[in-house]
A and B are shown apart, each in its own frame.
Chain A
Amino acid sequence: MDTETSQTLDKFAQDKYKYGFVTNIDSDRPKKGLDEEIIKFISQKKNEPNWMLTWRLDSYKKWLKMSDPKWANIQFPKIDYQDIYYYSAPKGFEKKPKDLSEVDPKLIETYNKLGIPLEEQKVLAGVAVDAVFDSVSVATTYKGELEKLGIVFCSISEAIQSHPELVKKYLGSVIPPGDHSFSALNSAVFTDGSFVYIPENVKCPMELSTYFRINAEETGQFERTLIIADKGSYVSYLEGCTAPQRDTNQLHAANVELIALENAEIKYSTVQNWYPGDEDGKGGIYNFVTKRGLCKGKNSKISWTQVETGSAVTWKYPSCILKGDNSIGEFYSVAITNNFQQADTGTKMTHIGKNTRSKIISKGISLGHSQNTYRGNVSFLRKAHKARNYTQCDSLLVGNKCGAHTIPYIDSKNNSAIIEHEASTSKINEDQLYYCRQRGLSHEEAVSLIVNGFCKQVLQELPMEFAVEAQKLVSISLEGSVG
């Protein structure tokens, strides 16, 4: 490698995190550690009905018997579950504020810094935001307008009060609490998250959005999101995440469940930019997220798009269970790892129904000393007649201290089903760099341009507002610019 290339690479490797500020707000927290008392405390804080508490306690009992999944290609010290705060709410949130004038101005400022204005007049046209700050949903914008259409968009805590029948029916129906240890943990201690219900034949006219932020130190964030798209409905949901810069590791174990009934479509997009730790791998978020969608009805569709640039360790496999005949599952992913980040991410497509189709496009970029793994499981069960899958996963290595790994699991039990899988791993193409530089672009600009091109297939799946932001994020992850 020429010196210039290595200089540019060094520059890239010194990525700086620009969302690392801390907001000084007093938090209302119980003691550290996990036991039945804490679960009761959380449930009581949220004024939950008894069935919810029972559900949590059952999940906790399951969790006690489980150990954390070990098969992923990630390494981190054993998590001390007794050294984590399981609930943290900004003071003054014992009751949810009715409107923004009741919200601590510091909070609003925090979200403004993140580029997520809560004041309704400033909200980007067409994006409704539910902001989650530590464990409490701060404000939900655009609520009134959505209500007119019968759309429910609120925090999960609120939904437990206002729509218990829906929550009871669907919560844990896609990710059973006993699925694995992180889902059991989340089911026991989840604090907040979003709830969406789209009624029959309603096309949600705007993008719904949640913005998660971990602020309090040593706080685990365990949100729970539940989205139900009733027959013939459509919704596009965006999720963005950031966390302040800290030396210690923080745990984030969210569960997201999607249910699409007959002819319904859910599009779920994530831009994950949690604090990744510093150049030496100190600090950063452990992002252990379970996301699963159930295409329950015929002709339903669930599409996941993710841009993962943050977190010290990512363990995440947004999946689709294609149960309804003709249902469609999609997964589009960009994962960029730098410094000492580790990502083990991918998807699982389970084809159960006839004519089910799935598509997986994954782009991994490794820099610095990072390890980036794609892990994907595609299976066709006996009755998945004429099912189809197409998978493409490409990895790009920038620098010679990182690793890129591709681990697909492909299982077919039906002879009319067709699976096609392609993967490649290479470094940045020198001819492309030469070409761009011959046209006057600097080495850094050229790399950024080529990487963005490499990710194009995925980025173009994001809703407009997000796509531009994501493109910038990709460049920032490479460039190491601060502002």
Chain B
Amino acid sequence: MTFENNFINHSKEYIFLDNETLLNQREETFKKIFQKNYDKKNNESLKNITITDLSKFEYFYKPKKEDSTISLIDNFNYEIRVVNGICKNYEDDNIEIRNLTNLDFKKFLNQNNNYLDDIIIDFNKIFLNSGFIFNIKSNSKLKIRLIHSTSDNFTIFQNNFVNFKKNCDVQLEHYFNFTHNSINNINYNINVEEGSVIKHNIFENFSNTNKLYLTSNTVCEKSSSYNQNTYNFSEGFVRNFHHALLNGEFANATLKGCFFLKNKNVCSNKTNIIHNAEHCSSDQTYKGILNDHSKANYYSNTFVHENAQKTEGYQLSKGILLTDNCSFFSKPELKIFADDVKCSHGSTIGPVDESALYYLRSRGISKNEAMKMIISSFIEEDLQNLDIDGAKIISNNLSDYLSSLVDD
């Protein structure tokens, strides 16, 4: 279907049909892309993606509400299933979650992600068809499992708002398990209020008939800590673009990720941290293993405003290329306007350490096992935030990945 047809088809389903400003915004964004009125050459949001892929799709979205569930596994331990972009409305002493309605237009008007200059966000704005608002109440100490899944060839354009109120302590386990031929353009606006400590683990693993464009935009207030880890084992295309703004002093943001690619898979990654207050620290670390004809990119960016003295910023990107046919592009940027800072970045790309492999094999360890040991050690420090369940999932995924990779 053409981009234009999709646009017209979707028009009737747009949530904010009665808000003129948003309607105009939608129309303008459509025009911008339709008239190719954007940076085509150096547009980071289009790296490894073609605009044709994005605009020529079969727009289809007819979800049923019944599938979504929310359950309390035990005290302070929730499991929330978001099926086809829809959640079940629910509220208790700790959390409140509900689907967006057309009364939520204000949130969209105030939403400030225009500065991102991101074509994927533009598509999200044009075709918006779902979203939820999720509040975690003050002082809650919770574990939440949030599962996104699909039950048909849906095209999901979703915008969610997650608000961690003051002094929360939350571990959010976030799963993306898609089936069929779905396209998922999901944007999260996350707000971490003063004193909250959030661990956010994102597990991406689905077949190559599905696509995920995941974007998050997190604001960290004073003395809060937001720690995000993405684990991408998908055979389908994944784009992980994550942004964090450190907006109050003594806040910390960590955006980490690792990805494991094979066949002709492609994965596009970006992290971006803006320091806008004193005494904040940040860490951006992505690691990737690439096999076969796979392809990946990683942009990272630390931006330190003039007023953000005593900043500590750290960036690292590491890639292991297993064949001659894969490629990895990395661009770690530092943009610094304050002088009392300690910022650094490191980046390495190369093959598996042959001498380590040789050493292990000379001790009688099989090539498969040796590879697994080396690659496990490569991501070991990224597993520290995981609980037992999470660690098990990663370990299983890693075994699957490695078994397809070594033939001895």
Contacts and interface: CB of A to CB of B under 8 A. Distances in A.
The reply, when asked whether chain A contacts chain B directly with Cβ atoms under 8 A, is yes
Contacts, number: 118
A423 B313 CA distance: 12
B337 interface: yes
- For the residues of A in contact with B, the DSSP-based class is strand
Interface string B297-338: 000000000100100000001010111101111111111111
A419 B349 contact: yes
A427 B333 contact: no
Contacts of B332: 406, 408, 410, 421, 423
Given A397-B336, A416-B351, A423-B346, A411 B329 contact: yes
Contacts of A405: 333-336
Nearest to A405: B335
Given A403-B336, A405-B336, A418-B349, A425 B328 contact: no
B324 A382 contact: yes
Nearest to A377: B331
Contacts of B392: none
Interface in A238-275: none
Contacts of A406: 332-334, 345
Interface string A393-406: 00101111111111
Given A407-B333, A411-B327, A412-B328, A425 B343 contact: yes
Interface residues of B, number: 35
A417 interface: yes
A471 B323 CA distance: 46
A425 B341 contact: yes
Interface string B146-176: 0000000000000000000000000000000
A409 interface: yes
B342 to A, nearest CB: 5
Contact of B334 (A413, A415, A425): A425
A205 to B, nearest CB: 41
A397 B337 CA distance: 9
B21 interface: no
A403 B306 CA distance: 9
A426 interface: yes
Contacts of A71: 42
Interface residues of A, number: 34
B331 A403 contact: no
A420 interface: yes
Given A410-B329, A415-B323, A403 B337 contact: yes
Interface of A: 71, 382, 395, 397-427
B304 to A, nearest CB: 8
Contacts of A397: 336, 338-339, 341
A356 to B, nearest CB: 15
A266 B151 CA distance: 64
B321 A415 contact: yes
Nearest to B335: A405
Contacts of A414: 321, 324
Contact of A400 (B309, B324, B327, B343): B309
Most buried by A among B329, B333, B348, B350: B350
A408 B331 contact: yes
Given A382-B324, A397-B339, A415-B323, A408 B344 contact: no
Most buried by B among A414, A415, A416, A417: A415
A404 B336 contact: yes
Given A400-B306, A412-B327, A423 B351 contact: no
19 contacts: A71-B42, A397-B338, A406-B345, A409-B330, A410-B329, A410-B330, A410-B331, A411-B328, A412-B328, A417-B349, A418-B350, A420-B347, A422-B345, A423-B332, A424-B344, A426-B341, A427-B339, A427-B340, A427-B341
